[in-house]
Structure 1
Amino acid sequence: MSESGEIAQELTIGELSARSGVPASALRFYERQGLITSRRTDGRQRRFHRSTLRRVAFIRASQSVGMPLSVIGGVLGFLPEGEPATREFWMNASVCWSREINARIEKMERMRDRFTDCIGCGCLSFEQCALVNPADTLAEHGPGPRRLLEP
């Protein structure tokens, strides 16, 4: 708050860090990634619109459930900078999250169902690899655990 008791519409990076609980280094990273924006004063100091607090809270909440920054950024793309979240924003966010969550569930189910037999990594270390993946034939499909990566 200002000395007159009004709520400041802009925050320094230190104030944003203190209010959000997010280190200034993370805020600078979010800015470089385009998740939040600031304006610069004549002295090149960052000033964040107060609504950035909600964006940062959304980013942190999303990260806490495992959402990658690319998905978070896509969702934040629906929200104009400096604008509060609307019902339409949350509906769009829900659609994006649902796709990501469903893809993660499918990947985890593949892992659960295939991990004990063979993940197709080409290691040839299990006796049964000679039965499930003779001569490392899955190598033709690319590196890594092919049976987990592909549906």
Structure 2
Amino acid sequence: MHVSPDDHLTIGEVIRRTGLPASALHFYERKGLIFSERGGTGRRLYPRHMLRRISLIIVAKRLHIPLSDVAGVFTGLPADRAPTHQDWQRVSRRWKKQLEERRRVIESLEQELTGCIGCGCLSMKACLLLNPDDTLGGRGPGPVRLQRPGAGTA
């Protein structure tokens, strides 16, 4: 049997292949992350290439990547055809930048955990050395050393 990325799968086949319940597939479809068509009987039919999108959604969930970030990355992918290698490369580069930024934020947090949490302020003794006279307090609320402009949130 020849398998093509443009073949269609029933919702039951997608459930079997992904391990996700139908309710999750319907949710992702309502969010515009995946797409289906209606067959002659009115049943949902998913293009086989949706399996790749679903797999990326599953991985993103495991990595605690918000679905809004996944949706942003998916905007560069075509919905009406299987993505080309170039399409996936473009998405991959974009997602890699996001993951690198998250890694930087996590590494910064890891370094701060040895002393205090970015001057939130948990260690008054250390803050007398790292933040004399609470100078960081003038930069705003929260862990200001971890919330540098462009640092994002983890």
Q: TM-score, normalised by structure 2?
A: 0.70
After TM superposition, the structure 1 = structure 2 runs for residues 48-127 of structure 1, keeping only pairs within 5 Å, are 48-127=46-125
Aligned to 1:143: 141
Check the 8 A contact 2:119/2:131 in 1, yes or no. Answer: no
Question: Where does residue 11 of structure 1 map in the other structure?
Answer: 10
Contact 1:118 1:132 (8 Å CA) reproduced: no
Q: Which SS does the other structure have where 2:125 is aligned?
A: coil
Q: Partners in 2 of 1:35 and 1:107 — Cα distance?
A: 27
Q: 1:11·1:50 contact (CA, 8 Å) conserved in 2?
A: no
Determine if contact 2:77/2:91 at 8 Å carries over to the other structure: no
Counterpart in 2 of 1:36? Answer: 34
CA RMSD of aligned residues (A): 3.1
Gap change, CA 1:24 and 1:139, over 3 Å in 2 = farther
Runs (5+) with no aligned partner, structure 1:
1-7
The total of aligned residue pairs comes to 144
TM-score between both structures, scaled by the size of structure 1: 0.72
Q: Percent identity, please.
A: 41
Unaligned runs of 5+ in 2: 1-6
> Hey, what's the Cα distance between the residues in 2 that align with 1:56 and 1:144?
36
